[in-house]
Structure 1
Amino acid sequence: MASSGAAVGSGTPVTLKELRPPSPLFADGASLRILGKLQEYSVETTIAMIVDGDASLKIDTQHLRDLSFRVGSMYQFIGELQIQPDNEAVLRARVGRNVDGLDLNLYYQSLQLVRQFQAERARFQST
């Protein structure tokens, strides 16, 4: 978790498939917003595993309260990425929510449009 007084990131929206080395998003401490289907959850370890196609990610849910987990449901998490010594990533979630019913095609289309807008805006501001 971020120390008190430090700015907490809003969570860059990424897909699980993008979250692989050598992606610049695959960085220790990166503040990310991620979406996936809950494949498994352990009450004892508070570790969830989400998947999207062949990509997966462990989620540390120890700081989440009042969120019930159902295998097969879709969840969105915001948190900081921790890269383990074996190069395995774990997202330490500070926010989580069930997003069953979300139109995934529309979500991914809007993500692409936001990225296009941000790239154009950055290009415009640099000129």
Structure 2
Amino acid sequence: MASSEIKSGALVSLEDLHPNSPNFKQGASLRVTGKLEEYSAETAIAMVVDGDAKLKINTEHLREISFRIGSIYQFVGELIQPDNQAVLQARVGRNVDGINLSLYHQSLQLLRQFEANRLKNPMNLIDIFSD
């Protein structure tokens, strides 16, 4: 029987989401943030951008969200690749106007550094509390 577990979306910047990325695979659960560049109500397809990177977002399952060109949105969903084009099938979306994208990218970098250091030097909770 297939698992119906919903995975959390891995934090990924649009610039880091490319064919050579480990997150660029069919069904990967991702969380992306970008400025809304285009939106079609007929197809429910949005295009978000961050710097030079773009990603199509399928918003057909989202309710109670109004889209405004130029606003910043965050989406959580699964990556699908119809016709060899990456599209995020969004299951959650929210407007995050007011977010400082520069600070957001800095926090992603710090998180990656922390995770990399933790993998190199795993610290046991017993070691933390034995001092």
Count of paired positions: 122
Q: Post-superposition shift, 1:5?
A: 4.9
Work out the CA distance in 2 between the residues paired with 1:111 and 1:94. Answer: 22
Q: Post-superposition shift, 1:19?
A: 0.9
Q: Post-superposition shift, 1:6?
A: 2.2
- Asked if residue 32 in structure 1 is aligned to residue 30 in structure 2, the reply is yes
SS at match of 1:9: coil
Aligned with 1:111 (options 83, 90, 108): 108
- 1:1-127 to 2 correspondences below 5 Å: 5-85=3-83, 87-125=84-122
Among the aligned pairs, what percent are the same residue?
61
Paired amino acid for 1:49:
M
Work out the CA distance in 2 between the residues paired with 1:84 and 1:24. Answer: 18
CA RMSD, 1 decimal:
1.5
SS at match of 1:125: coil
Give me the TM-score of the superposition, normalised by structure 1.
0.90
Long gaps (5+) in structure 2: 124-131
Deviations 1:63-107 (A, max 9, x none): 11100000010000000000123x210000011011110011111
Work out the CA distance in 2 between the residues paired with 1:107 and 1:22. Answer: 23
Paired amino acid for 2:115:
Q
Long gaps (5+) in structure 1: none
After the TM superposition, which parts of structure 1 deviate over 6 Å for at least 4 consecutive aligned residues?
A: none
Give me the TM-score of the superposition, normalised by structure 2.
0.87
